[in-house]
Amino acid sequence: MKKVERINIIMRYINNRAHFTISEIMREFNISRSTAMRDIREIEAMGMPLVAEVGRDGGYSVMNNSVLPTVRFTDNEIKALFIAFMATRNQQLPYLKSRQSLAEKLLGLISENQQDDLVLLNQILLFEGTNPKNPDLLDLSDLPHPMLEKLIQILLLDSYLLITIKEEKVIKSYPIFLLHLYHEKGLWLFEGYDLKDEKRRIFPVDNLTDVKTYPTKKRLSKKKILEKLSKQEEVMNLILELGPKAIAQFKKYHPLKVSISYTNPYQTTANLKTFINVHNPEELTEITNWLLFLGGDIKVREVPEEVLQGLQERLCLFCP
């Protein structure tokens, strides 16, 4: 049991008793005396009014008429939570099955009037990917890859992983320091630093067959990893100036590694600088399509010849 979870449970345990001792906490939660004392001190620091009783049979008690504070939500907070659930319920998100019980608990905390508002919202709001005839329908395609939750659970404990990937019917293992886990174009991807080949790699979670922690003795420190990555940073070969229309398109969609920096306080102009790997056909095609998506409200300061050629070929398709 994690520390935060244990302390929350101890708080509820304490609040339901008029009196308790350190020994009782030790037995109930199977922890040492020093751990129990530290937890009690943290609970006191969080504002729970405990009274220490001295003597042979001494212990602790909660001050009379003092209980844990009740969680209260405003009407707008309730709507924000519910709409966030609605907007993402038919996407491949981790812990998707747990959200039903979470929604039920949320409904149990609010008033009947607030519940009526949520029922109405559920009837009138539809989001992309939602079945209009059955908004609550959860298709098999909505569920994430079964390894995603396992990956997240391990990442919460350790970023050094030994992953096993299936690549074109071949099983390969990589020692990885994970940098990012992200969702793009309907796919979950994780980006990591290959501890063996010392380079950045990106893998689709769908190809993951196993994941476990990497042995401590073979690890490279995070500081050294970041230093190596900074030395490997590619030279920027795509430099653009974006106007307001192009910025609006950028906000609708942009590749994960691409970012912009605004050049005026009104955020109507911006610079875009990135590296394009012209030897990667998939990346080259993606960037070409994306530049066309940005539209004509851009000024090109620097661009690889291969990207220009790709743009000309695409535009020639519309030539008479």
- What are the chain's domains? 3-62 (1.10.10.10), 75-142 (no CATH), 146-231 (2.30.30), 238-316 (no CATH)
The pLDDT value given to residue 9: 84
The pLDDT value given to residue 171: 92
- Say how far residue 121 (Cα) sits from the centre of its chain: 26
The full DSSP string for 65-131 is: T--PPPP---HHHHHHHHHHHHHHTTS--TTTTHHHHHHHHHHHTS-HHHHHHHHHHHHH---TT--
Q: Which residues of the chain are modeled with pLDDT < 70?
A: 54-58, 64-72, 129-142, 232-234, 317-320
- H/E stretch holding 180 reads strand 170-184
CB 272, CB 238: distance < 8 Å? yes
CB 174, CB 193: distance < 8 Å? no
Alpha helices by DSSP H, listed for the chain, are: 3-15, 22-29, 33-45, 75-88, 98-108, 112-124, 146-155, 222-231, 244-252, 281-294, 305-316
The pLDDT value given to residue 44: 81
